[in-house]
Amino acid sequence: MPRVSAQYRDARRAHILAAARRCFVRDGFHQTSMQDLVREAGMSSGAVYRYFASKDEMIVAIAEENLDQIVAIVRESVAGGADLGEALAAALEFASKRHAEDGFAAIALVVWSEALRNPVLAARLRDSFDAAGQELAETARASSNGVKLAPDVLATTLLCVLPGYLLQAAIRGPDAVAPIPDGVRALFPSGR
Amino acid sequence: MPRVSAQYRDARRAHILAAARRCFVRDGFHQTSMQDLVREAGMSSGAVYRYFASKDEMIVAIAEENLDQIVAIVRESVAGGADLGEALAAALEFASKRHAEDGFAAIALVVWSEALRNPVLAARLRDSFDAAGQELAETARASSNGVKLAPDVLATTLLCVLPGYLLQAAIRGPDAVAPIPDGVRALFPSGR
């Protein structure tokens, strides 16, 4: 397949998902129809259906993009020598940046609620939580942080901060969560 | 008003809310109609409407009940001399107990998503987060826990664990979150 065509497809796909994010955050997942999405994307319905057969496929694609990005940030931070607190703080700050751009935290709330009824979404959430938790546990094993806790329990407990951060960013806004990354950094000194 | 009548009203109200919890968790908030709720409650629609004029009123009432209970647990723990970690762990364990009874964690996910579009719900979430945070900050001020962090930042950061705990309890089940209360306890030794 010619390169320009793959690029074109990626751009169209991203364009549709951006429209879907706006609709789901503004109107809710179930109050948005495929017709609404077609209108928001400004494309023909045939063009939209070529990429996504249903709203379910769209919310899964949006969740995958978000979750993969969070896991990648944690992985890069750990690879770059960050300690546990720093790696999580980097993920929180990335989430805030993305939230300012396109409502990242709000779409996360929609995804969680929808995961109660969509097993594909639920499985993706579980996998991403596992992946991020394993990265953090690796870091916890490598650092001596003075916390008397098994590295995987420490990582699992820490990772719980992320959804609370996203919930507050979505409901109270960026100012309310601004001190939290530094809070996470201070809670988990690496001792490296 | 005679006491038996107030008791009767409270019981009927609780009966309707229990039916609403089941419907919202099983089918989702927007896929549940008032007609579905009337059927689930096994009452006449006139009887249900006497207590709640809309699904919005029901979800707000459910959220208020849940949030008030969490804040009360934190408050009681603090009053009983618990340190920061212990007070939060008590709230997490209470949430797990309630989740086993009636899907407490799952309804929390529905509430968060709905709060994006319902300002009354959003305000209740903010107020409850503030109240729980203030209780925890009070405890943080009273204890010397070795963490170099302003008490309110420490409390705010800590409180973020709760939504992550509820999300995982709802999506992965009780076993996945079982180690977290002890994790929270270990992270925040009081030094009292």
CATH 1.10.10.60 boundaries in chain A: 1-53
* Model confidence at A132: pLDDT above 70: yes
* Model confidence at B190: pLDDT above 60: no
* Model confidence at B152: pLDDT above 90: no
Asked whether the beta carbons of residue B129 and residue A168 sit closer than 8 angstroms, the reply is yes
Tally of CA atoms within 13 A in the half-sphere of A22 that contains its CB: 13
List of chain A residues whose C-beta atoms are within 8 Å of the C-beta of residue B115: 109, 171
Contacts of B47 (CB under 8 A, 6+ apart): B12
A110 touches chain B (CB under 8 A): yes
- The correct CATH number of A1-53 out of 2.40.110.10, 3.40.1370.10, 1.10.3720.10, 1.10.10.60 is 1.10.10.60
Tally of CA atoms within 13 A in the half-sphere of B36 that contains its CB: 14
* Model confidence at B189: pLDDT above 70: no
Which has the minimum average pLDDT: A60-69, A116-125, B70-79, B146-155? Answer: B146-155
Q: Contact A186/A85 with Cβ under 8 angstroms?
A: yes
Rounded to the nearest 10 degrees, the angle between the axes of helix A84-102 and helix A3-27 is: 80
Block residue for tokens 């008791």: B7
Chain B closest CA to A166's CA: distance in Å?
A: 9
Tens of pLDDT along A5-48? 999 999 999 999 999 999 999 999 999 999 999 999 999 999 99
* Model confidence at A113: pLDDT above 70: yes
Instruction: Specify the pLDDT at position B1.
Output: 55
Write down the CATH number for the domain with range A54-187. 1.10.357
> What value does the mean pLDDT take over residues B133-140?
85
DSSP 8-state code for residue A30: T
* Model confidence at B191: pLDDT above 50: no
Instruction: Specify the pLDDT at position A191.
Output: 45
Residue B160 CA to residue A61 CA, distance in Å, equals: 26
Distance from CA of residue B51 to its chain's centroid?
Answer: 21
List of chain A residues whose C-beta atoms are within 8 Å of the C-beta of residue B27: 117
> What value does the mean pLDDT take over residues A160-165?
94
**Percent of chain B's residues with pLDDT above 70:** 93
Tens of pLDDT along B162-183? 999 999 999 999 999 999 999 8
* Model confidence at B84: pLDDT above 90: no
Chain B, 147-166: which have a CB under 8 Å from a chain A CB? Answer: 147-149, 153-154, 156-157, 159-165
Structure token pair of residue B119: 């300002």
Instruction: Specify the pLDDT at position B165.
Output: 96
Instruction: Specify the pLDDT at position A4.
Output: 67
Tell which residue, A30, A98, A112, has the closest CA to residue A63.
Answer: A112
Confidence of residue A152 (pLDDT cuts 50, 70, 90): confident
Instruction: Specify the pLDDT at position A138.
Output: 85
Contacts of B7 (CB under 8 A, 6+ apart): none
Write down the CATH number for the domain with range B55-187. 1.10.357
Average pLDDT score over chain A: 90
SS3 A24: helix
Instruction: Specify the pLDDT at position B192.
Output: 41
ipTM score:
0.90
> What value does the mean pLDDT take over residues B61-89?
91
